[in-house]
Amino acid sequence: MDLIVYYNGELIKNSDIPFSIYNQGFLYGDGACIKFRIYNTKPFLLKEHIDDFFYTNEKLDIDLSITAKTIETTIKVLLEINSLSNANAMIITTRGKSFADLSVDIQKIPNILIMVNPVIEKDESLKYKGVSVCLSERRAPSRSVIDRQIYSLSNQLEILGRIEAKHYNAADILLLNLEGQVCECANSSIFIVKNKILYTPDVECGIRDLSVRRFIIKIARHLRFKCFEGIITLKELFDADECFLVSNDLEVLPVVEIEKHMISDGIPGKITNQIIHAFQETTKGDGFGSLL
């Protein structure tokens, strides 16, 4: 599909982008990438995602020549030009061209790409049946090794997670941190419910603090459920009354089995269903607008 995209200040067909094989994003994954959903022409949690975008570029020392207002306006224009109302959006930067080495003392002009793409249809019945999750053989990287709040162009960890999950016919793969505590899934954040209280790993556990994760915490508290961020052990995970995953791609997805261990009675729980309903109402624009 030859959609119109924003590239370095111009609106052009994606097939006409003058891509260089010496681009550092292509050679080294050197850049930033923020992905989010658009519902009924409204970008979901746009400010939060733009904040993540600028934070990432600042930490990567990529000097941007674009403003938040320009990004917001560009997305609206791209939706109209491409006749899309529901879409996946991406904001991407790369450090620019290099000389096929890792030199950082050469003045480079960053590339900026903004695009919107049709949403790939998912099996909606999974929100009612639930999914399975398996434990990964790998561990989540330590916060002392990598800042997980940097959304770099390299998604190798997430891609390997998808491959591992597919191998086990699971919806996602669960990563433990180096201490053996529940961290996050390769492509989503994880929540559990015990005695009508929600729990989710906190940033200190090494998770990526997704904007949609923070929003789910707001929804839970708005629904008058207690929601705590902290350490979750494997035993606490297996003993949970309910469990669900959260991401821009999956939205809210109930988990009924982890590593062949059934969660509660093997069907999505009542609180999970309430969270799903509240999220759907929000994205349709029918409720919880004050939380956005």
The tokens of 58 are what? 């600042």
pLDDT score, position 145: 76
d(Cα 85, Cα 80) in Å, to the nearest integer? 8
pLDDT score, position 26: 86
pLDDT score, position 86: 95
Task: Please name each of the domains of the chain with its CATH number.
Answer: 4-118 (3.30.470.10), 126-291 (3.20.10.10)
Give tens-digit pLDDT for 148-178: 899 999 888 888 988 999 998 999 999 999 9
Helix ranges, the chain (H): 24-28, 46-59, 68-81, 126-129, 156-167, 211-222, 234-238, 270-284
pLDDT score, position 1: 72
pLDDT score, position 107: 59
Q: What is the pTM of this model?
A: 0.92
Assign 97 to helix, strand or coil. Answer: strand
Assign 238 to helix, strand or coil. Answer: helix
Q: Contacts for 12-19 with beta carbons within 8 Å, 24 or more apart?
A: 14/115, 17/113
Give tens-digit pLDDT for 69-107: 999 999 999 999 999 999 999 999 998 887 767 766 555
Q: Which amino acid is at 224?
A: R
pLDDT score, position 25: 87
pLDDT score, position 290: 56
DSSP state letters, 117-140: EEPPP--TTHHHH-EEEEEEEEEP
Checking phi first, is residue 226 left (phi over 0); if not, alpha (psi -120 to 50) or beta?
A: beta
d(Cα 273, Cα 264) in Å, to the nearest integer? 15
Residues in the chain with pLDDT < 50?
none
Residue 37, strand partner residues: 88
pLDDT score, position 27: 86
Q: Which amino acid is at 34?
A: I
pLDDT score, position 122: 83
